[in-house]
C-alpha cells in the first residue's frame, strides 16, 4: 500500500493515470470541528485487478501540492469515478475551484440501474464485486499520523472495488441506453454554485412554523450572521448557536445582553463577545426591515387542493413504472411531486427530461382521464380510454 507524500510522486502517478480511460477517487476527511471539511487523505486507483495500481495521497504533508491531481481532474479524456461524490467535490471546489470532469457517480448510476434508493458503497461491493468490506476503520480519526495498516486497507478498498462497480454500471448504462440519464442527474453536482453557501439564503434551511414576514425577517438576519460568522472562523454553524436557539431568539427579540442571559437555548459562549453583539445587531436589523424587503415564504404548496384518489393512482403508476424500468422511485418523483400533480401543478421535475419519458407522460394522461390502470396478476398496466 503505497502512500504518496511529495508533489513529484503525485505528478508521476497522475501522468500515468492520464493514459487510462478512467480513475477512481475517494477521500477521507473530518468536519466535526470545522465549517469546511478538513481533507485528510485521498485515495486513487487506475484500472486493474489488485492494489498495485492504487495509491494513498497524504494532503497533510507540507511539501505536497495537489495541483498535479487538479490537472488530471481537468483532463476531459479521463473519467473521474466517485461514489456519492457531493462531499468529495465540495472539498476540491472550496480548495481550488476545481470540479472533476467528466464525472461518474456510482451511487447515481446504481439508482438508475435498479439498485434502489441511494445504494451504499458496501451494498454495491457485495452485489457487484462479490466482496465484503471491513468497516471497522470507518469512524477513525483520519487526521492522526501515522495511519494504521487497517486504516490504509480500509481506505484503499474504497477505490479498488470501485473499479469493478464502475465498469459494471457503465456497461449496463450503455446496454440500456441510459447513460444520458446519469449525465442529466450529475448536472447539479458539476455546477460550482451547488457548493457555495450564501449567508443571505441560509434562513431557508431553518424550519419554523411561524411564517409572519416580521418573524422571518429576524430569522433571516440571525441565519445570515451565523453563517458568515461560522465561515469566517471555520467553525460549525451549530457551534455559534443551534436552530432551536435561533427560532427562540426570533420569537423573544432580545435587545440587550441582559435579554440574552434569559435565553433557555443559547449557549453560554454566545451570550457575550462578538456572537452576542452579532445577535443583537441581527435582531435589530430584522425588526427595522422595511415591509417591501421582508422575506416572502412560498405558500403555494400549502394551498394545494390535493386530490387524494388521484394521488393514490399516481403512486400506483409510479410503482409500476419503477418496477418496469428498474429505476429507484425516489429518483423519478417524490410524494410531494405526486401530490402537486394531483392538485393540478405542472412545474415538477417528473415532467422534464428522462423522467417525463419514463413516468411524466403517462402521469399526465392519467390526470387527464386518457388512461386507466388495470391489474393483471401481479402486474399493473395502463389502459387507453
Q: How many CB atoms are located within 10 Å of the residue 293 CB?
A: 9
Q: Answer positive or negative: Cα dihedral of 285, 290, 296, 297.
A: positive
Chain-centroid distance, C-alpha 135: 22
112 neighbors 101 (Cβ within 8 angstroms): no
**Polymer length of the chain:** 385
Peptide bond before 223: cis, by omega within 30 degrees of 0?
A: no
240 neighbors 275 (Cβ within 8 angstroms): yes
Whole-number Å distance between alpha carbons of 95 and 36: 10
**DSSP code at position 42:** E
Run of H or E including 233: helix 213-233
Starting from the edge strand earliest in sequence, which strands make up the sheet with 103-105, in order?
A: 2-4, 54-57, 38-45, 22-30, 79-82, 103-105
Bridge partners for 278 per DSSP = none
Helix axes 308-325, 335-342, angle to 10 degrees: 130
Query: Can you give the pLDDT at residue 297?
Result: 75
Whole-number Å distance between alpha carbons of 97 and 83: 20
Could you list the pLDDT tens digit for every one of the 385 residues in the chain? 899 999 999 999 999 999 999 999 999 999 999 999 999 999 999 999 999 999 999 999 988 999 999 999 999 999 999 999 999 999 999 999 999 999 999 999 999 999 988 789 999 999 999 999 887 788 899 999 999 999 999 999 999 999 999 999 999 999 999 999 999 999 999 999 999 999 999 999 999 989 899 999 999 999 999 999 999 999 999 999 999 999 999 999 999 999 999 999 999 999 999 999 999 999 999 999 999 999 987 666 667 789 999 999 999 999 999 999 999 999 999 999 999 999 999 999 999 999 999 999 999 999 999 999 999 888 899 999 8
Whole-number Å distance between alpha carbons of 77 and 101: 9
Query: Can you give the pLDDT at residue 302?
Result: 65
263 neighbors 249 (Cβ within 8 angstroms): yes
30 neighbors 37 (Cβ within 8 angstroms): yes
354, three cell numbers: 428522462
Whole-number Å distance between alpha carbons of 78 and 14: 11
Whole-number Å distance between alpha carbons of 364 and 315: 13
25 neighbors 13 (Cβ within 8 angstroms): no
49, three cell numbers: 485487478
Amino acid at each position: 500500500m503505497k502512500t504518496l507524500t511529495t508533489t513529484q510522486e503525485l505528478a508521476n502517478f497522475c501522468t500515468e493515470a492520464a493514459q487510462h480511460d478512467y480513475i477512481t477517487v475517494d477521500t477521507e476527511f473530518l468536519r466535526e470541528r470545522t465549517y469546511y471539511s478538513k481533507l485528510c487523505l485521498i485515495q486513487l486507483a487506475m484500472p486493474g485487478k489488485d492494489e498495485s495500481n492504487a495509491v494513498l495521497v497524504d494532503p497533510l504533508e507540507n511539501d505536497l501540492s495537489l495541483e498535479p491531481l487538479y490537472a488530471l481532474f481537468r483532463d476531459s479524456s479521463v473519467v473521474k469515478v466517485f461514489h456519492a461524490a457531493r462531499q468529495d467535490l465540495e472539498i476540491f471546489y472550496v480548495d481550488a475551484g476545481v470540479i472533476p470532469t467528466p464525472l461518474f457517480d456510482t451511487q447515481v448510476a446504481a439508482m438508475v440501474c435498479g439498485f434502489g434508493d441511494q445504494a451504499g458503497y458496501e451494498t454495491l461491493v457485495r452485489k457487484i464485486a462479490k466482496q465484503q468490506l471491513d468497516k471497522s476503520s470507518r469512524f477513525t480519526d483520519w487526521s492522526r499520523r501515522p495511519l494504521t495498516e487497517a486504516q490504509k486497507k480500509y481506505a484503499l478498498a474504497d477505490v479498488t472495488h470501485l473499479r469493478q462497480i464502475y465498469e459494471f454500471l457503465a456497461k449496463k448504462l450503455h446496454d440500456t441506453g441510459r447513460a444520458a440519464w446519469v449525465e442529466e442527474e450529475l448536472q447539479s453536482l458539476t455546477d460550482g454554485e451547488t457548493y457555495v453557501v450564501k449567508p443571505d439564503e441560509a434562513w431557508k434551511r431553518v424550519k419554523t412554523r411561524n411564517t409572519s414576514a416580521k418573524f422571518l425577517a429576524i430569522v433571516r438576519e440571525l441565519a445570515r450572521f451565523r453563517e458568515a460568522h461560522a465561515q469566517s472562523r471555520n467553525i460549525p454553524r451549530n457551534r455559534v448557536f443551534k436552530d432551536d436557539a435561533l427560532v427562540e431568539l426570533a420569537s423573544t427579540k432580545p435587545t440587550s445582553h441582559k435579554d440574552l442571559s434569559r435565553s433557555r437555548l443559547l449557549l453560554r459562549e454566545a451570550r457575550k463577545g462578538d456572537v452576542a453583539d452579532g445577535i443583537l445587531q441581527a435582531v435589530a436589523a430584522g425588526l427595522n426591515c422595511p415591509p417591501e424587503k421582508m422575506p416572502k415564504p412560498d405558500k403555494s404548496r400549502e394551498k394545494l387542493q390535493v386530490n387524494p384518489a388521484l394521488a393514490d393512482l399516481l403512486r400506483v403508476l409510479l410503482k409500476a413504472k419503477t418496477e418496469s424500468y428498474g429505476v429507484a422511485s425516489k429518483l423519478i418523483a417524490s410524494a410531494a411531486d405526486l401530490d402537486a400533480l394531483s392538485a393540478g401543478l405542472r412545474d415538477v421535475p417528473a415532467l422534464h427530461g428522462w423522467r417525463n419519458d419514463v413516468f411524466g407522460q403517462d402521469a399526465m394522461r392519467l390526470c387527464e382521464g386518457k388512461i386507466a390502470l388495470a391489474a393483471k396478476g401481479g402486474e399493473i398496466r395502463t389502459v387507453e380510454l
